[in-house]
Amino acid sequence: MSQTVLSVSHISKSFGGIHAVRDVSFEVQKGEVLGLIGPNGSGKSTLFNCVLGQLQPNAGAVTVKGQSVSGMRACDLNKLGVGRTFQQLSVFPEMTVLDNIILAGQEHHGTMLSRLFGAPDAGLTGEADRMIEFFRLGHLRDEMAGSLSYGQQKLLDAAMAFMAGPDLVLLDEPAGGVNLTMLANLKERLQTYNREHGTTFVVIEHNMEFVMSLCTRIIVLAEGAVIAEGTPEEIRSNSQVIDAYLGG
Amino acid sequence: MNAIPKWLWIALGLAVLIVAPIGQGNYFTLILCSWLMFTIAAMGLNLTLGYAGQISLAQASFMAVGAYITALLTLNGIHWIVAMPAAVVACFFIGLLVGFPALRVKGHFLAFVTLAFNTLVVLVLRNEDWLTGGSYGKFNMPRPDFWIFNTARKSDVLGIALSSNQKIYYLCLITFVVFAALMYGLIRSPWGRAFKGLRENPIRAESLGLDTRRITLLAFAIGSAGGGLAGSLMSPVVQFIEPNSFALVHSLRILLMVVVGGAGYFFGPMLGAAVVILLPEFLRFTQGYYLILYSVAVIILMVYSPSGLMGIGDRILSKLRPQRVVRGDMKEGAQL
């Protein structure tokens, strides 16, 4: 039986006279990998920010596991089970890889007081080491995050998003600026994680090959509205998508 | 360098601090007391600024609050051991309130907010003379009597004749050691990691479940409590306090201690306070030139090592260790 993790219902968002998102609705089921694509200015980021509760839509509602996220703070959304990665590099550069990963999980363990008086690692070193190994960063465990290469920092960013064991992870252009070898590594790790843990992903991405091979379903936006939805094969052959986005 | 464990360095430093005032006169002993007090205040600011990345130009005002609360209570017969925690707790909550603007303003705007608070505190101290003694301040605060260790009187302790000033030095030293141990525990704890996360990338930290509002307020509150603790020592050590002792220039001095020592380094404030308080004393033999030499030394340090003296130490140590290439471009890219 399918279980809806994310529900976006009739979302519209305008900035002055510009309609960034127009009446967009979709649902994402548990374990699904949904791709959100569209040309620049199509409303992907606005929709993403509405889903993350950072923008208040003019109309419509967003619920995660049945709970409205409108106006919710990012930390509360994370505690609800939503992880995210960022388009730009977003690690803690002057902390080690291990500390980055522990920080990503520590707020989900114990209370404020137990974190003050408990173990310095919040009892997370073992779990953090497993996550570091999973993302193949084991050899960099004690290095400063700022000293890693761009692709390694992208991997670390992804590892941090998964450390708290989220139900839903929003990946904002995870392939941006990553070389082909590292990209194949990232995609394989995401697929494995999805298969092993049944975590739901929503991916915004410009790299068509990456999206087509990673996602099970794709939604195409153009001028703030959904113009197509379907499997990667259906999207590839959709003439409206080819016209609006793929350029023939 | 790594052959000598860190705890041995700390034990050695502590041993030096224990014997430092023995055989010394009042002037040198009180200079050491001043160094310990300002180190405590600077360690508090180091948490707020160095670890959590929140600028504050109000640390002297928290020393003022701590000093005046301690003075008022001890002059009314309450023991320092009761007055001191009262002062620290008061500063914690006032610091919490001062932290609220930090939720809305950052950088130099926040600096101006805290600067205004410092000025406000000094004005209140000057004008509310029914409570604070106005410009005349408060004086003759009693030094605490710990029964077998009365800091108000000269006596023999373990066969060594100690003056009142030497005993009050040991009170400062014990307070400093306890406070430093607590700060070390705090910085090593998940809270310390959260403070660093707030400094390095608050947006990312919030997205990982960190309540950045709460941690910002705590950074201000705990840092201010450090200022209050330093003030509560100042009251029995100096036995005279007046508003100008806590003017903005003193907040800038404490900021200088943090920056010169190395913001975000545990031992930074200790070194910084030593430079700001002890170096001018050692340079006195140069007579009228000591302030010029001192200023030039600070300017050169800031130009060549913005991460302070600890930063220089780090650079020397990194030269001795196997090389690690730091991608400066990546660091910049990580800022949101």
B56, B45 Cβ separation under 8 angstroms = yes
Q: What is the pLDDT of residues A186-209, one digit of tens each?
A: 999 999 999 999 999 999 998 889
Q: Is B182 on the interface with A (CB under 8 A)?
A: no
Q: CB neighbours of B254 closer than 8 A, spacing ≥ 6? A: B38, B41, B42, B45, B59, B60, B227
Identify whether B259 is part of a domain.
no
For the segment B124-144, the average pLDDT, to the nearest whole number, is 97
Domain carrying residue B221: 24-247
Q: In a structure prediction context, what are the per-residue pLDDT tens digits for chain A, which is 248 residues long? A: 569 999 999 999 999 889 999 999 999 999 999 999 988 889 998 999 899 888 889 999 999 999 999 889 999 999 999 999 998 889 999 999 999 999 999 999 999 999 999 999 999 999 999 999 999 999 999 999 999 999 999 999 999 999 999 999 999 999 988 888 889 999 999 999 999 999 999 999 988 899 999 999 999 999 999 999 999 999 998 988 888 765 54
Which of A94, A142, A150, A173 would you mutate first to test chain B, the one with the most B CBs within 10 A?
A: A94
- pLDDT at residue number A244: 75
Scanning B193-252 for CB atoms below 8 A from A yields 193-194, 196-197, 200-201, 203-212, 214
Task: Determine the CATH number of domain A4-91+166-246.
Answer: 3.40.50.300
Asked whether residue B323 carries a pLDDT value surpassing 70, the answer given is no
Give, in order, the Cα–Cα distances in Å from B120 to each of B10, B58, B72, B235: 39, 10, 20, 21
Residue B121 belongs to a domain: yes
**Quick check: helix, strand or coil at residue A25?**
strand
Residue B176 covered by a domain: yes
What residue ranges in B79-179 does DSSP mark as E strands? 138-139, 155-157, 160-162
**Cβ atoms A34, A202 nearer than 8 A:** yes
Q: What is the pLDDT of residues A35-49, one digit of tens each?
A: 999 888 899 989 998
Residue B42 lies in a domain: yes
Q: pTM for this structure?
A: 0.91
Residue B115 forms part of a structural domain:
yes
Strand spans (E) along B113-203:
138-139, 155-157, 160-162
Got the DSSP string for B285-326?
A: GGGGGHHHHHHHHHHHHHHH-TTHHHHHHHHHHHHHSPP---
Given this model, what pLDDT does residue B156 score?
Answer: 86
Place of tokens 């090592």: B305
Q: Tell me if A147 and B324 make a contact (CB, 8 A cut-off).
A: yes
- Residue B17 has a pLDDT of 97
Q: How far apart are CA B14 and CA B173, in angstroms?
A: 9
Q: What is the pLDDT of residues A56-68, one digit of tens each?
A: 899 999 999 999 9
Residue B58 lies in a domain: yes
Q: What confidence category does residue B332 fall into, taking pLDDT thresholds of 50, 70 and 90? A: very low
Tens of pLDDT, residues B1-20: 456 788 999 999 999 999 99
Question: Residues B161-189: what's their mean pLDDT?
Answer: 97
Q: How many domains does chain B have?
A: 1
Residues of B in contact with A143 (CB under 8 A): 324
Q: What confidence score (pLDDT) does residue A14 get?
A: 94
Q: Is residue B296 part of a domain?
A: no
pLDDT classification of B334: cutoffs 50, 70, 90? very low
How high is the pLDDT of residue B269? 97
Amino acid found at A121: D
Q: Nearest Cα to B322, choosing from A142, A93, A133, A95?
A: A142
